[in-house]
Amino acid sequence: MAILVTGGTKGIGLDIALAFATPGNDVCLNYHADDAAADDARAEIEAKGARCHLIKGDVGTAAGCKAVIARVHAASRQLDQLVHCAVRVVAKPTLEITPDELAAAVAVNGLALHSLVQAALPLFRPGSTVFLLTSRGGRMVIPNYAAIGIGKALAESLVRYLAVELAPKGVRINCVAPSVVETEAVRALFGDKTKGIMQHAASDNPTGRAVRPEDYTNLIRYLASPEASFIQGQVIYVNGGHNMMA
């Protein structure tokens, strides 16, 4: 089994990669710049018995996406799971984001999904699955989140279009939207407010706690299994019911 996780050397992406890091599996971790974090991630993956392939590259361009998939192809003849988790943060109010900043963010946070899937088509097999990590910020306004939220909204729509074309090939695609997780991107967005936001996410949740890695990794493992073969083109929230509250 082979999996590619963009943004896979930290945070949610690494959590997902570790969930599939079993002996004999090829785990491909794409990252943009942080070599030290990538080396640490590889050590964690290999400690679980999987083969880890670090792929440094920018998925913010179609050429970059093609180069990443070419590296995956060099490691494996097929791609069973493609997880798009990479994110580009621009922590500014919408009216302060320059057009170039917005375009660069949307390229990573939204359009990259199209380029990755298109490049990976020859590696997919019946049963292969694609995942977009999204958030409620794609459907509602969060301060300083526009550069991510607009890209996520675009990508969620793209997932529905791709689902219709991938389904006849036996390939599925879905969106998974965890509750807020304290990642590097979240800290970049909210700065010294991060701790309070995390505490609020737990105390205000109807389930009575914050999200845990196993909450979304277990869902993704299920969605990647044959038991979920009829789930296609959906956005599934993993937040204890928090999205239902005003």
- The CATH number that applies at residue 92 is 3.40.50.720
Range of the domain at 159: 2-238
Average pLDDT, the chain: 94
The reply to whether 117 falls in a domain is yes
- Mean pLDDT to the nearest integer, 152-176: 98
Which range (27-31, 61-65, 183-187) has the least confidence?
Answer: 183-187
Asked if residue 246 belongs to a domain, the reply is no
Q: Read off the pLDDT of residues 178-222 as tens digits, 9 standing for 90 and up.
A: 987 777 777 777 778 788 877 767 778 888 888 889 999 999 999
pLDDT in tens, 234-244: 999 998 887 77
Mode of pairing for the β-strands spanning 26-31 and 51-56: parallel
Residue 57 lies in a domain: yes
In a domain, 66, yes or no: yes
- Average pLDDT score over residue span 123-134: 98
For residue 244, being part of any structural domain is answered with no
In a domain, 21, yes or no: yes
- Per the structure, the count of domains in the chain is 1
CA distance 115 to 212: 30
Q: Which of 88-102, 187-201, 223-237 shows the lowest per-residue confidence on average (mean pLDDT)?
A: 187-201
- Confirm whether 96 is domain-assigned: yes
Q: Would you say residue 207 lies in a domain?
A: yes
Radius of gyration of the chain (CA): 17
